[in-house]
Structure 1
Amino acid sequence: MIYPTIYITGSGGDISSIEPLVTRLLPMEKAGQKPLVLLANIKKNYELKVQGQISKDAQYPMIEFGTVAKTDSGALFSAGLQKAVSYLVDHYQVPWINLVGYSSGGTGAVYYMIDTAEKSSFPPVNKYFSLEGEYNDVTNLVTGEGLTDVLENGPLIKTAMYNYIADNYTKISSKTQMMFLEGDFDTEKQTDSAIPWADSFSIYHLFKKNGNEIAITLYPTKYRHSKDPTNPVVAKYVKNFLYGTP
């Protein structure tokens, strides 16, 4: 029986963007010495490539997930993730999973939770950690709109990416605990250098309304968005939220 955490890469498709974070976290007690890598090729009908294996003593293994080809499509990420999780379920007993979604991988994680919510063959998501996730197609605040407005009522400009979540978020279990982490790289522009805070926090109000236990955090950083998974501060936030260790 395993309780895996899947670390979902960004739009680049390969695992290089998320791997530094996992490397900082390993080895951890009962997590194993190295991650299992699952690559679902979105250009080849989600053909799954498995690299490595979960050691027998790893009760809480870390798994890196990539889409091989570049994409920021939540739908493609979701389909690939379903292939990966199906593999885990076929080979192991999996009572629940955790998800960590980085950048566009955040879009994929939330789409996955929506798309599998009513499919009994998929295990429930215990915790979801959003690392500078994208949920509104990189949409900034508009004139007269403040971040507080977005947190309370959502964004004024709503893209198709956001609307899919807004139309379906109630399918996601209110028992899933969530944390949304955003880097304060540029306070004046309210951005982590790539994703506006207003985008990354755009769906906060939805899950607050859904009854989820959810926290949002802005933290000061000199790391640009693309380098955020290498930040030791990020690793501490992940460890504390997912594993209860500082």
Structure 2
Amino acid sequence: MKKIFIALIALLTLLVACTRKVTVENVKKTSTPTLFIHGYSGGKGSFGGMIDRLETSSIAEKSLVLTVDENGEIHEVSYAKPTQNNPLVQILFQNNKSDEFSQAQWIENALLFLKEKYKVEKVNLVGHSMGGVSSLRLLLTSTENHSLPTVEKFVAIASPFNSFVDLSPNETIQNVLNQGPMEKSQRYLEYESQMQNISPTIKTLFIAGDKNDDTAGDGAVPLADALSMVHLFKQNGNPTNEKIFTGGNAQHSKLHENTAVDKLVAEFLWSDN
């Protein structure tokens, strides 16, 4: 009986693992690392599941975990050297409640580390919540540092670029996508004034969640906020896409556990279609 029970548990575990796999057609394998950057108060679990699912699905390979301490020093855990198998690099901040300016500097330090140690010349950035905000701050302020790897693609998942500002009266999501938000926070105004620093070659994807309740957002970040940068990037000439996920799995912290999000991110980063 005990052996049967163990066998059933093993089978159930296998079935669950299979249902969590991500299917992407025509995956192009490259040596360009993709950096995953967690949000405010986040940690290894924030993107750990997505990274594991992408690896289990043979789409990409978990390569490095880089922890950046408050002094900007890099502490490395290596799983595999960046290779031709779409290497995944998880960035962790020792102080996970710091501001976007500090985190932008820490991301820059991680990029320099990758270039100096592994000769990395190109990267992709994927940020959840504040991780997207800090990544954008890096893109806006690091233009003078020509020693950094080139950012090819940028994915922002549920990032509050407009400081949690919701729709104004009579404003629609389509208005925000076409013209930008009516109410602009100080953060957003800074971004707007520095968009000329962004290379128009960077391809971007903005993901937002809508729980389909009365919040018009993912329960933490309003839809209007998560999509507030779409207009500015399109205006800047960047190839830009946006996607709204709906339902219970579109809640703020569930978006990076949503296999539909996994699939979209993987297709954007690596599909050869």
TM-score, normalised to structure 1, is: 0.91
Is 1:26 aligned to 2:49, yes or no? no
Q: In the alignment, which residue of structure 2 is the partner of 1:120? A: 146
Q: In the alignment, which residue of structure 2 is the partner of 1:162? A: 188
* Separation in structure 2 between the aligned mates of residue 213 and residue 90 of structure 1, nearest angstrom: 29
Q: What letter corresponds to residue 176 of structure 2 in structure 1?
A: V
Q: What letter corresponds to residue 164 of structure 1 in structure 2?
A: E
Q: In the alignment, which residue of structure 2 is the partner of 1:237? A: 264
Q: In the alignment, which residue of structure 1 is the partner of 2:203? A: 177
Q: In the alignment, which residue of structure 2 is the partner of 1:17? A: 46
Deviation at 1:103, TM superposition (A): 0.6
Native 8 Å contact 1:13 1:68 kept in 2: no
* Separation in structure 1 between the aligned mates of residue 122 and residue 103 of structure 2, nearest angstrom: 19
Native 8 Å contact 1:72 1:104 kept in 2: no
* Separation in structure 2 between the aligned mates of residue 176 and residue 57 of structure 1, nearest angstrom: 22
Q: What letter corresponds to residue 242 of structure 2 in structure 1?
A: I
TM-score, normalised to structure 2, is: 0.82
Deviation at 1:49, TM superposition (A): 1.5
Q: How does 1:2-151 map to 2 (within 5 A)?
A: 2-27=31-56, 31-32=60-61, 34-41=62-69, 44-55=70-81, 57-71=83-97, 73-151=99-177
Q: In the alignment, which residue of structure 1 is the partner of 2:25? A: none
Q: Give % identity.
A: 28
- Stretch deviating more after TM superposition (195-204 or 212-221): 212-221
- Stretch deviating more after TM superposition (79-88 or 23-32): 23-32
* Separation in structure 1 between the aligned mates of residue 89 and residue 177 of structure 2, nearest angstrom: 31
- Stretch deviating more after TM superposition (218-227 or 85-94): 218-227
Native 8 Å contact 1:13 1:69 kept in 2: no
* Separation in structure 1 between the aligned mates of residue 237 and residue 98 of structure 2, nearest angstrom: 28
* Separation in structure 2 between the aligned mates of residue 154 and residue 73 of structure 1, nearest angstrom: 24
Tell me the secondary structure at the aligned position of residue 241 of structure 2.
strand
Native 8 Å contact 2:33 2:82 kept in 1: no
Native 8 Å contact 1:136 1:159 kept in 2: yes
Closer, same or farther in 2 for the Cα pair 1:168/1:228, shift >3 Å?
A: same
Gaps of 5+ in 2: 1-29
Native 8 Å contact 2:39 2:128 kept in 1: yes
Corresponding pairs, count:
243
Q: How does 1:190-205 map to 2 (within 5 A)?
A: 190-205=216-231
Native 8 Å contact 2:63 2:82 kept in 1: no
Tell me the secondary structure at the aligned position of residue 116 of structure 2.
helix
Superimposed CA distance per residue, residues 152-192 of structure 1 (whole angstroms, 9 cap, x where no aligned partner): 22222222221221111111110111111112212543201
Gaps of 5+ in 1: none
Deviation at 1:218, TM superposition (A): 1.1
Tell me the secondary structure at the aligned position of residue 136 of structure 2.
helix
Q: In the alignment, which residue of structure 1 is the partner of 2:18? A: none
Larger helix fraction of residues? 2
